[in-house]
Amino acid sequence: MRCSSTRFFFSLLFLAAAFLRPATAGERMVLGYYPSWIRGSYPHTAVQYQHLTHIAHAFIFPFADGTLEMSGFAHYPELIQTAHQHGVKVVISVGGWDLVRTPRFATMVADPTARTRFVSNLKNFCQTYGYDGADIDWEYPAPADRPNATLLFQELRAAFNTVMPPLSLSIAAPSGDWSGRYDWTVMKEVLDWIGIMTYDFYGSWTTKAGPNSALYGTAATTDQGWIDNSMAHYRAKGIPAEKLLFGIPFYGWQFNATTLFGPSTGASQLTYINIAPLLQQGWTRHWDLPTRTPFLVNSLQTRVISYDDSASIAEKAAYLKNQSLGGVILWALGQDYMNGQQPLLASLGAALKATTSVPIMVGETPPLAFELSQNYPNPFNAQTRIRYHITRGGAYTLRLYDPLGREVDTLAEFTHQPGSYEVTVSSATLPSGVYLYRLTGGGFTLARTMVVLR
């Protein structure tokens, strides 16, 4: 495989943004859900395939008799063809949250004839339309459904293995399976991956505001859950780390509250498209260090929005690699699509997509030379500030690169004495998009992403 210096640059430096250590550029799964209803506003020509490994085309449902319901679903051969041309696999997502259609799963799996019909129909559907597999999003089986659910997945695995190459089989699972919905001794063997929906920890159903998708937490404060806790939960069930994918939302929750973890009288969901512009409309961004998540507060201090941005995605990407997890699922593609840019997807792709497996040494000693902070504000549309701290004097350079890895500007290049420094970056000559700024010196390199929005 030909390895371009640009793609090498992205895969290497984004990892260094979170912590500095010897790193191996290795690709993780980046699976984006593509709801069929967004085709008009986010066509296949808008998808940035270079940042993805898989697309889950959502949703179809089972009828109770095992036939497939496709009302509201639009076949999209152009999406599948274009994804395949870019080396991206496409799976069909079966299910989703639906109070009417989801209960049919339980009826279908309890009937051997209906179950057999469903397995056959789903395999044929994938083969007919060119899907690479199926992702079952049953929200959620009851503990009483466990024996029949186990049979369903065993039968799907057997049927999918008759196709060459075999169709992939995966599920979207809740953040924790404390009630025993699945027999994980079987599921971990028959599934190719398990996508854990580690979002919606807090929302309209909670009495306090909280992080939509916290990376870390404690039972005392983040009482609804957090990603690290979910991953530990599933690994304790014997599921290999490389089969676990955790969820990253491209949306957030706006709470009627004055601060994060404060009482809430209601909440509504907002996509990143609607959240990002608020940074230029009087809202203040805060960073909750314990959970590694950002949140916004309006000028009247009556609204709080928990969401994800490039900084929290960098933290989650570093965690994923440190824990040797398989990758991420994201809900949903198109929710960060603004002015032709997709800053959250680009951040994920830069962090987790790699083009080579050659070991790359970033540094050979602990990161004592300098620290590089996330720029603030981020995203921005006028100017932003980059702060960094030098602990060992010497020659250092701070450079800015565009999404193609081309140098845009040298922000600082001189012999630094130990101390703290700040650089202001103007967006006057920068088109909207994702940029990387890189600090180099003392044998080390650190980089972070920043986003220009107009």
Q: How far is CA 305 from CA 209, 251, 310, 418, in A?
A: 9, 10, 16, 38
pLDDT at site 356: 29
What secondary structure letter does DSSP report for 338? B
pLDDT at site 30: 98
CATH code reported for the domain at 361-452: 2.60.40.1930
Which parts of 176-313 are beta strand (E)? Answer: 193-196, 244-249, 251-255, 267-271, 284-288, 293-297, 304-306
Which CATH homologous superfamily contains domain 21-359?
A: Glycosidases (3.20.20.80)
- Domain ranges within the chain, ordered by starting residue: 21-359, 361-452
pLDDT at site 1: 34
Please give the Cα distance from 433 to 275 (Å, whole number).
16
Please give the Cα distance from 74 to 146 (Å, whole number).
31
pLDDT at site 363: 35
pLDDT at site 350: 83
**Rounded (5°) CA angle 141-269-296:** 130
For 161-226, where are the alpha helices, taking DSSP H only? 184-190
Please give the Cα distance from 113 to 320 (Å, whole number).
41
**What is the reported pTM?**
0.78
Please give the Cα distance from 297 to 418 (Å, whole number).
35
pLDDT at site 237: 97
Residues of the chain with pLDDT under 50: 1-25, 355-367
The tokens for 261 are 């973890």
- Which residue matches tokens 């889950």? 56
Residue 409 has φ and ψ, to the nearest 5°, of: -160, 150
Element (H, E) at 134: strand 133-138
CA 427 to chain centre: 27
**Rounded (5°) CA angle 38-41-46:** 95
Please give the Cα distance from 243 to 259 (Å, whole number).
36
CA 150 to chain centre: 28
pLDDT at site 339: 84
pLDDT at site 448: 85
